[in-house]
Chains A and B, each alone.
Chain A
């Protein structure tokens, strides 16, 4: 049996969801690693881009922020924020963008909170705020969200909707006036989840090797359908080699 870390499987589970030709919006950390890994594994013609305006960065070293000088080196275009967000809002390019996100809380419709826990006006815990996350979630064709699988993070109602998921259900985005598109999957340290085509509710698509659907439910603040889930394939030798040797040899993100 291969020896791997959960964080590595999470990264690879996201990388596998990136399709060849996708324009991949990513933030810092594990989402950047997933986008880098996808280019080597399953989507050689995908293009990584950052909200700061860098397009198709070579990424010889892992950037530690989306404004890191490492995203500016050997790009096809070094633009700016206005350009980057216009690319996502555009009705021509936006639908081809897949956004990789993260958040402090998520609900069953994939709405994300990265602003505050508790009362917004007197927060128990304050986070960084939207950054570009709300823009990405509003505009692009599909999003993949990384979460830690914990009860306090998978909540029936997020304390603050920073980034729109399917809002309150099947017609939520349409009623609000948002473009088509929305959350496609959620990847945690235990499982992968999708959203039902009809109800737009979260359901279990895969459980990591050694984890049972019950354990997954025990770590969530709401119930989801687990009947369609299968075991997620463990990382292959090739995938691990790419991740460890090409993407994060200094283990700055993987630890």
Chain B
């Protein structure tokens, strides 16, 4: 908890301070939307490894962290970027080779797990997944679970409804809370203290933000507190949850940030092709991640032409007529 009035900090400093090898990290966003990509690339540049990563349906950010070898364990519901990669390619390769340990849940279960962590309860119940292999097959061994005090001893539990016939749900699946070391989200607007305004869909970013010991917020625009207070119904996260605020325009690029810019189909399509081949993927990392000093360096490389093409139209919030083939 950081109660200072100005939490702005550079991205390299924020990552150095809060993200460490072996940490339990969760990243916000969904498939090809509002992934905290600038932070993901910075984590890769700082060569932080052995990360225990949590997400629900996070696509591009998860795949790049796995591809760069930063992740050893993953708890997730879905790894894909929509039509750009129905299954994330580096994720797929890592799963098939056994390079990372994976624990599968559903999207609602991951959301409830973040919510339980945010609420301060050890678990929340749902009726999802009864009768399925999500219950039967555990990706993390009992030994792995017992050896890490930051993991619950069990993936989940099925129990009879303790209220009997009340609620007409005879059995429930209890999913354990997540309380990670750090969460990173990318949002549209924040003030110096860290109050957050997300526009469009918030996905599970609020629950992810509040379940973490530390929260890094990267934002498109740094705005005044008065501006946010003039529209409080549109704000989602209070400043006392936030440890670091990083102003980083295009911080979700190449994923989309509603009302600011669209995803970049050219980048995501090229990424998928490179990801299929180890040599090409290493060349991609060298050129686009290690080969640039920071996110602005990546944006300079992409160039104004492409950034203008994905600029959001003010009426719709996305790039109308963008060539998305």
- Which of A's residues lie within 8 Å of B, judged by CB? 28-29, 51-54, 60-61, 63-74, 78-82, 85, 89, 91, 115-116, 120-135, 138-139, 160-164, 167, 172-173, 175-179, 250, 252-253
Contact = CB atoms under 8 A, between A and B. Distances in A.
B169 to A, nearest CB: 7
Given A85-B111, A162-B134, A138 B129 contact: yes
Contacts of A66: 30-31, 82
Contacts, number: 212
A69 B318 CA distance: 6
Given A67-B32, A72-B200, A120-B137, A89 B127 contact: yes
Contacts of B132: 134, 138, 161-164
A55 B34 CA distance: 19
Interface residues of B, number: 73
B57 A67 contact: yes
Given A53-B201, A176-B130, A72 B30 contact: no
Listed residue (A60, A91, A121) with the most chain B CB atoms within 10 angstroms of its CB: A121
Contacts of B128: 85, 89, 134-135, 138-139
Contacts of B200: 69, 72, 78
Interface of B: 29-34, 56-57, 59, 76-84, 86-88, 91-92, 95-96, 98, 104-109, 111-112, 115, 126-134, 137, 139, 158, 168-172, 200-207, 256, 258-259, 262-263, 312, 316-318, 320-321, 324-325
A154 B162 CA distance: 39
Given A67-B203, A123-B96, A131-B57, A138 B83 contact: no
A82 B207 contact: yes
Given A69-B317, A80-B203, A130-B78, 10 more contacts: A53-B202, A69-B256, A80-B204, A81-B203, A89-B128, A134-B132, A139-B127, A175-B131, A177-B130, A178-B127
Contacts of B129: 134-135, 138, 164
A67 B31 contact: yes
A127 B78 CA distance: 9
B97 to A, nearest CB: 9
A176 B194 CA distance: 45
